[in-house]
Structure 1
Amino acid sequence: MTERSRRLEPRTASADRVVKSVCPYCAVGCAQDVYVKDGRILDIEGDPDSPISRGRLCPKGSATFQLVTGSHRIHDVLYRRPGGTEWERIPLEKAMDMVAERVKRTRDETWEDTDVNGLNVRRTLGIAHLGGATLDNEENYLIKKLFTALGIVQVENQARI
């Protein structure tokens, strides 16, 4: 064994904490250990305490580190204005503000306090949500709570397909 080999240690050895997480890629819900030092992610590994994955990750789950830290990660959004023919790059924060403004405007414009029979419904039928299979139970719970608070009643998930 060389001197260099003797000095080698895993990236996880210098972490100051381990944060539990769930892989975002599919509905299996493989648990992950996220190794963090000084607020930066050092590595992401399978959680050996997980009864689902027992510390194993598929190739996509194993690449989660690059998903959250890679230099190729996109921080802008492509946007095409109504009637436009070209895409323009805008900051993610601006795109999120635009989505929030449109949700608020649509909710305000389509709000119903009562239905045609005079029953109190306090809802909007102008917004619907269809979730995907990559959302875990906690994310679906929070989405349902948010949309219910907004008065959105058409909330569905295709994970069972």
Structure 2
Amino acid sequence: MNVELSRRGFLKLAGAGAAGTTLGAMGFGEAEAATVAHVRQFKLTATTEVRNTCPYCSVACGIIIYAKGDASKGEKADILHIEGDVDHPTNRGTLCPKGAALKDFVHSATRLKYPMIRKSGSDRFERVSWDQALDRIARLMKDDRDANFLTHNEAGVPVNRWTSTGMLAASATTNETAWATFKVAKTLGIVGFDNQARV
């Protein structure tokens, strides 16, 4: 049997075939309609979704954290998954290897979760409260500043410098937080001020 097909007929047939396969791929086929009822729930549907910033470098990539339980309501939050935020303008959902391994960072057995102090002569660290830790930091800073603050240099020019203490700021902060941190450091007279991203 000899079938004659014109170029126009061939293009019509090819177009109809492409349209049919496209509709099937988009979910309009019988097989897809039959399986929709049997799709199981995703494990992340019952989680709380929180947007945050990756803590590693100064790129400040956006991340989405999925946790069971809502910490804002006093519940224990168990982090199940961390991924890049596709709506974030910096990384558009991508993460470097360190960022991709953030879940392991959160669940690490060696992760520091509360302030600790090693007393003089001791061979171990002891847990202290946040109030104790902040009071100790404030006391040590005040004592050091009082002992080492320079009001004038050798020529008698006012300088107001605190050169015996430095400050290392975090990189995963907003511009407003970074500005406030810098102002606090400079108001105290701290000269040695740097950012964690350069370390």
TM-score of the superposed pair, with normalisation by structure 2: 0.57
Corresponding residue to 2:44 among 11, 18, 23: 11
User: Which of 112, 115, 127 is residue 165 of structure 2 equivalent to?
Assistant: 127
Residue 90 (structure 1) aligned with residue 127 (structure 2): yes
**Contact 1:75/1:92 (CA < 8 Å) preserved in 2?**
no
Q: Which amino acid aligns with 2:92?
A: R
The answer for unaligned runs of 5 or more in structure 2 is 1-34
Q: Distance between the aligned counterparts of 2:59 and 2:185, measured in 1?
A: 24
1:126-160 deviation digits (Å, cap 9, x = unpaired)? 212356xx724646544422211211112234745
Task: Give the number of equivalent residue pairs.
Answer: 154
Check 1:123–1:76 CA distance in 2 against 1; reply closer, same or farther (3 A cut): same
In the alignment, structure 1 residue 99 sits paired with structure 2 residue 140: no
Aligned residue in 2 for 1:110: 148
* AA at the equivalent of 1:61: G
Give the conservation status (yes or no) of the 8 Å contact 2:117–2:128. no
State how 1:31-50 maps to structure 2 within 5 Å.
31-34=62-65, 38=70, 39=72, 40=77, 43-50=81-88
Contact conserved, 1:48 with 1:56, CA < 8 A, in 2? Answer: yes
Kept in 2: contact 1:32–1:47 (CA 8 A): yes
- 1:25 to partner: Cα distance: 1.5
Give SS of 1:106's match: helix
Q: Give me the whole-angstrom Cα distance separating, in 2, the residues matched to 1:157 and 1:123.
A: 19
Distance of aligned partners of 1:143 and 1:41 in 2 relative to their CA distance in 1, 3 Å threshold: farther
Cα 1:31–1:118, aligned 2, differ >3 Å: closer, same or farther?
same
SS at match of 1:44: strand
Cα 1:81–1:41, aligned 2, differ >3 Å: closer, same or farther? closer
- One-letter identity of the residue aligned with 1:22: T
RMSD over aligned CA atoms reads: 3.6
Q: Which has the larger radius of gyration?
A: 2
Q: CA deviation at 1:12?
A: 5.2
Structure 1 unmatched ranges of 5 or more? none
**Which has more strand, going by share of residues?**
1
TM-score (norm 1): 0.68
Q: Secondary structure at the match of 1:11?
A: coil
